[in-house]
Structure 1
């Protein structure tokens, strides 16, 4: 079994520029152009959702889509959208696909998709971010979603958000960033009995602890 790498970083506590960075973007909106393929993907997603009746769930950075299929099974009355930027990963989804028709996996840049959802007042009942995305070097703070210009959209498009990672400090920073938006989170240990993604399974098999950060009643 291939061992998963552990997080290595010189950062030992909350980044000293975290709150400054979060507040820099909190009251602004990104002006970066939207990628054409994500604009098309968003329009296709709206067409599939139809009138928007019922619960809608977003699974961002879904990779091969294992988590998307599991969420669709867990919430059979909901419509579930899985997003990933990699065609190669999404092409492997057939290994996890089930017979239900209540979900789609879509190639899109999640940052652009979140901004489009925000601009079009599309909100999700539940949003899952199960890919770790740590960028552990202190110099990479601005690449972490909560310290980037997409955070206002990320906080605006769902009622419930769950973030998972094998790096506790990442989730602690995310929790602190959300407090700048008046949203309080809760971090819990994951027992490893029901991994949602291949990443989570790999970490657990390598003896690493995984954690989940939950936000509720965000809207």
Structure 2
């Protein structure tokens, strides 16, 4: 039976006009939310893994069931591949990971900040089919509209974002451009195995899938918007 996943519906027709002002505000007022105790066990596990590994690091943010994390372990066999998701329900469904994989139950923004404070530079960072928050009033809940976006950018590395909502990918790219990071937006290839269960479902539903890639430079080189 063919999947019947619905397309993203939104009254927003173009890049949100409030995006530049929001980015300026976040540059003036860096994210200072106090650490949450619920994230501390995962951060302790992360510290221990990094002390043991001491090599390249790949981050799979919002990894869901960890399906993508397992695939990325094969793509980066010499790296520590870390999947992060806040949902224990999703992570409980994870496949068996290779030895270079690690799954953490934590808020992604807390992990971003922790890695930035450790001065960790990523080899690669994937964000695959995040919640699009399609209502115009939800701009601040999108990754590029969140005050922790600058923490993400500080980690550097090759960033890849995928979504079945073209506008989300384009808006993410505009945010990167405004902060001094060029990016490339393209239709995602449907060849090969799907990276996530969502991607597999969207392919079966005939969705047009979009990707963004960027090679992030040091956050010290970011533009002021």
Please classify the TM superposition score into its range, dividing by the shorter chain length. over 0.9
Secondary structure of 1:177's aligned partner: helix
Secondary structure of 1:212's aligned partner: strand
Look up the match of 1:72.
73
Secondary structure of 1:124's aligned partner: coil
Equivalent pairs, count: 216
Secondary structure of 1:142's aligned partner: helix
Measure the CA separation in 1 of the matches of 2:52 and 2:147: 30
Q: Is 2:120 aligned against 1:122?
A: yes
Secondary structure of 1:216's aligned partner: strand
Look up the match of 2:203.
204
User: Is contact 2:53-2:80 (8 Å) kept?
Assistant: no
Secondary structure of 1:164's aligned partner: strand
1:128-168 deviations in Å (ceiling 9; x for gaps):
10133211111111111111111110111122111100011
Q: Is 2:42 aligned against 1:26?
A: no
Secondary structure of 1:31's aligned partner: coil
User: How far off is 1:42 after superposition?
Assistant: 1.4
Measure the CA separation in 1 of the matches of 2:183 and 2:143: 16
Secondary structure of 1:76's aligned partner: coil
User: Is contact 2:3-2:204 (8 Å) kept?
Assistant: no
1:42-61 deviations in Å (ceiling 9; x for gaps):
12112112255321100011
User: How far off is 1:115 after superposition?
Assistant: 1.6
**Structure 1 unaligned regions, length at least 5:** none
What TM-score does the superposition give when structure 2 sets the normalisation length? 0.91
Secondary structure of 1:50's aligned partner: helix
Look up the match of 2:107.
109
User: Is contact 2:86-2:108 (8 Å) kept?
Assistant: yes
What TM-score does the superposition give when structure 1 sets the normalisation length? 0.93
- Which residues of 2 match residues 1-219 of structure 1 at below 5 A? 1-50=2-51, 53-93=54-94, 96-98=95-97, 100-193=98-191, 194-219=193-218
User: How far off is 1:180 after superposition?
Assistant: 2.0
Change (3 A) 1:30 1:87: same
Measure the CA separation in 1 of the matches of 2:119 and 2:29: 17
CA RMSD of superposed structures (Å): 1.4
Moved more, 112-121 or 152-161: 112-121
